[in-house]
Structure 1
């Protein structure tokens, strides 16, 4: 059950009868997530190493462990944290609707998303990179993708960053998720998958003989903790938790646990926060 941080339709109706705007009435009654005794957290369900459904109703991965650490710092014990699988396309909607209270799901902070979501963090700064089939030696960097097909998951902008951001002409192919993109790459339906290097490293660790990590990154992807829009108090508390996670070495331990078997160079210092606005 998600922590209810917004009043429902009855409150809106009451506000209308009192002759005040519904918005101001609702905001006046909001509580911060720092008051929560339980949390529903949105995580990915199909990204190895980050957020993966285990088949027994549980989830595992770096994002899952980060979410549990933050919840603990907010005073919410692990047994009171409910994980909900979300896709890239669903993250804003599930947070806005109140189905989840927090999103920790490789959720890149962007100006457009900031209009709907308050972001804590980032808790990690990934870099976009490229994964190709193991036998494909023709791609040594992003510019070698010119004229090739590149898959991105629904709700992501990874391929768009290549075409519009870098001016490289690729065929953009969209799949429901990055796990579907990886299946298409394995089958030869697309030539490459490009997204954050943590995501790619997780898939590579599962099947290292099938794929090759180009390991020539471009762009920074700031992974934020998605919070209800306007909950500045929770944002500040989340940032304090992330700082502690790095300073005491927990972040480094988690990164080693989930990505130590890959050649990925991981960030082990506190990222520069975006600010709680």
Structure 2
């Protein structure tokens, strides 16, 4: 580059130099303050199309078949959409990837038998619960190898990566086998590759209904349970308090208005297993939504 100025630049006065330093310092302080400020909430309004992560292979709760989505959680999502004013668009999600999908904000919410736990609540927000269930064992209907808790020892038990069942303490000698989805576990059970499928009892009754008339019918072992009581919640990315509050209020209405009829329609095997008592076992109290949701009234 040709230099056109050959003479030295005129010297600035000391006062001018001090002024420049003062302005620079102010700019640096302002930038630092902006970096330390709390991030603004990332509230994507629940209008238009809302992308919801669901399971596509869990009969009774959420299943994609013949180009249609059906199940209790699909009914729940439809109710919330009508109440709040959005159109659900469903996307398949596996258990092990649910948190990351929300952390990345790839999805607007997840309704996928997603249990509320303190560890998960550190990374995402929850609205719920909308279902309560203990954990249990699914076996072939002709299998008598598990009749009580002691019988679980020494058995090969299939569950899913990223689920609460995968970290439950089972009796010593039990051989855990994990898959990415429950349909694979159920297929291995029918083929006698595993002795039982271990996960939430409510979820297992969906498979009981699906295979009721098959060559290999299934059943849930009664009164045998390990692990925690699970409370299903709607998962949200952190920092969307307005969405959380709107969903919380809509869910309270759902529990009193539509919950029972949707369970009867989508999970008949569960209702038949506990005649006269299924609501007490599986339906949350609407007041629990205020207790367990990340956003408080």
> What band does the TM-score fall into relative to the shorter chain?
0.7 to 0.9
Distance 1:87 1:67 in 2: 18
The total of aligned residue pairs comes to: 251
SS of residue matched to 2:48: coil
Bigger drift between 87-96 and 106-115 goes to: 87-96
Q: Within the alignment, does 1:244 sit opposite 2:259 as a pair?
A: no
Distance 2:66 2:254 in 1: 28
Using the size of structure 2 for normalisation, the TM-score is: 0.77
Q: Is the 8 A contact 2:103 2:237 kept in 1?
A: yes
Once the two structures are superposed, the pairs formed by residues 193-208 of structure 1 within 5 Å of their partners are 193-208=197-212
Cross-structure match for 1:45: 56
Cross-structure match for 1:89: 96
Q: Residues 31 and 129 (structure 1 numbering): CA distance in 2 closer, same or farther, change over 3 Å?
A: same
Q: CA deviation at 1:235?
A: 2.1
Distance 1:68 1:81 in 2: 7
SS of residue matched to 1:83: strand
Q: CA deviation at 1:23?
A: 8.0
Q: Is the 8 A contact 2:41 2:240 kept in 1?
A: no
Q: Residues 170 and 45 (structure 1 numbering): CA distance in 2 closer, same or farther, change over 3 Å?
A: same
* Structure 2 residue runs without a partner (length 5+): 1-29
Larger radius of gyration: 2
Q: Within the alignment, does 1:71 sit opposite 2:81 as a pair?
A: yes
Q: CA deviation at 1:212?
A: 1.9
Cross-structure match for 1:186: 190
Q: Deviations over 1:158-208 (max 9, x none)?
A: 143133xxx544111011211000011111111110101121111111112
Bigger drift between 41-50 and 66-75 goes to: 66-75
Cross-structure match for 1:28: 40
Distance 2:139 2:154 in 1: 14
Q: Within the alignment, does 1:258 sit opposite 2:266 as a pair?
A: yes
Q: CA RMSD in A?
A: 2.2
Residue in structure 1 matching 2:161, options 154, 158, 161: 154
Residue in structure 1 matching 2:234, options 214, 225, 237: 225
Distance 2:101 2:203 in 1: 22
Q: Is the 8 A contact 1:151 1:181 kept in 2?
A: yes
Q: CA deviation at 1:55?
A: 3.5
Q: Residues 116 and 134 (structure 1 numbering): CA distance in 2 closer, same or farther, change over 3 Å?
A: same
Residue in structure 2 matching 1:141, options 138, 142, 148: 148
Q: CA deviation at 1:140?
A: 1.9
Q: Is the 8 A contact 2:115 2:164 kept in 1?
A: no
Q: Is the 8 A contact 1:150 1:159 kept in 2?
A: no
Q: Residues 46 and 22 (structure 1 numbering): CA distance in 2 closer, same or farther, change over 3 Å?
A: farther
SS of residue matched to 2:168: helix
Distance 1:222 1:142 in 2: 23
Distance 1:256 1:109 in 2: 24
SS of residue matched to 2:169: helix
Q: Residues 176 and 276 (structure 1 numbering): CA distance in 2 closer, same or farther, change over 3 Å?
A: closer
SS of residue matched to 1:105: coil
